[in-house]
Structure 1
Amino acid sequence: MYTDVLKNLETKMQKTINSYKEDLKTIRAGRANPALLDNLSIDYYGTQTPLNQVSTINVAEARLLTIQPWDVSTISAIEKSILQSNLGITPSNDGKIIRLPFPALTEERRRDLAKLVRQYAENAKVALRNSRREAMDAIKKLEKNSEISEDELRTGEQEIQDLINKYTAEIDSITKTKEDELMEI
């Protein structure tokens, strides 16, 4: 009976891990990566539109992204969005293409990015703990309604704790890998 609760919990925890990985893609690690611009949107004729829906984004070199808007009139809005995004990159344009040169990361910027990685990790862990609390409440409710026995409740609680330990360890591993990547460049 409580196995449905466990399956639901594992699905939620996997979604949390996937979301955390997506968040990490937005942190630049010294080289150009179009995923850094995934969360940017511009005011396109009165509508907030994702940048990748109004332009072509390419990696021209290891440390250079190019953005070619389909409508040249959006160049200033794209530049404004990039400057407000706190990416630490200053765009330049030639009237048709915006270039984003990625400077080498300074030691201070690396530390700031590592701190941001740890903040994202903590947010993911909080989401895991919230999922655990919901699952614990669900199986306690099953036991209260006499749908499962007290022994099944204890077994379920232990399995929930094992799941959270597994996914917390995975977050720690991903975090360590990303921090190492940031610090060695």
Structure 2
Amino acid sequence: AALPAFPSPDFLRECRRGFAKGRKSKDDDSANTTQVVEDIGPVVKSTASSQMEAALDALSRELTKLRTGRASTGMLDHIIVETSGVKMNLNRIALVTIIDSKTLSITPYDSDTIKELEKAIVSSPLGLNPKVDGQRLIAVVPPLTKEHIQAMCKVVAKSSEDVKQSIRRARQKALDTIKKAGYPKDSAKKLEKEIDELTKKFVKSAEDMCKAKEKEISLG
């Protein structure tokens, strides 16, 4: 899905005109300036927030793909299964449930796809070897090796850095937009501070997500 864009040059030009009109009349200056800040401020903040949220969503999907030593229903979601010439995510064609902390049950909505499901899971990098059990598959999640834990933690660290860069890019775009808008100095500083606070909040969320995943991996 396309990310929201920051205000267009035409919108910014209208803002600058609003400021210019305000300066012609001292009586109207305050009202005009306030109105323009209210017009563009929420747009800039909501756009930056949406872009940062999208970066966090992408991080969440990446972290879900990483296997830990415990069974989770989401660990198979990203696996692509080809059935009847059509490729789909596994969670679209099967119900995944947890039998216990180390065992998953994968029940296809169409029993004819069980072989394709088995092949896709075995081919994935998760290291699972499911067995057919009537109309479903049973997959035991093997314990992680020390090497696997180290490798997974490196992937988490890289994902963390990537998402923080995306969040900071959204911040920079917002600051550039504020600069181009021709804001009065005080109004610009206030909005920039709000964007910085937003950035800190999302960066912390990303760090917390990654720390939680590293802990989950390390516990096996």
Distance 1:70 1:159 in 2: 48
User: When the two structures are superposed, what TM-score results if normalisation uses the length of structure 2?
Assistant: 0.73
Task: Specify every segment of 5 or more residues in structure 2 that has no aligned partner in the other structure, as ranges.
Answer: 1-36
Say which SS state the counterpart of residue 28 (structure 1) adopts: coil
User: Is the counterpart of residue 117 in structure 1 residue 156 in structure 2?
Assistant: yes
Segment of structure 1 superposing worse, 99-108 or 161-170: 161-170
1:51 aligns with 2:90: yes
For residues 63 and 179 of structure 1, what CA distance do their matches in structure 2 show? 18
Cross-structure match for 2:32: none
Alignment of 1:11 with 2:47, yes or no, is no
Identity of aligned residues (%): 29
Greater Cα radius of gyration, structure 1 or 2: 2
Separation of aligned partners in 1, 2:134 and 2:155: 34
Contact 1:72–1:95 (CA under 8 A) maintained in structure 2: no
> Partners in 1 of 2:130 and 2:169 — Cα distance?
40
Q: Give the structure 2 partner of residue 136 of structure 1.
A: 175
Normalized against structure 1, the TM-score is what? 0.85
Matching residue of 1:182 = 217
Report matched runs for 1:16-165 at 5 Å: 16-94=55-133, 96-143=135-182, 148-165=183-200
> In the TM superposition, what is the alpha-carbon distance from 1:103 to its structure 2 partner?
1.0
Q: Determine if contact 1:9/1:135 at 8 Å carries over to the other structure.
A: yes
Deviations 1:102-142 (A, max 9, x none): 01111111111111211221221122022112212211221
**Residues in 1 aligned to 2:56 and 2:216: alpha-carbon distance in whole angstroms:** 19
Show the counterpart of 2:12: none
Do the aligned partners of 1:55 and 1:68 also contact (CA within 8 Å) in 2?
Answer: yes
Number of residue pairs aligned between Structure 1 and Structure 2: 181
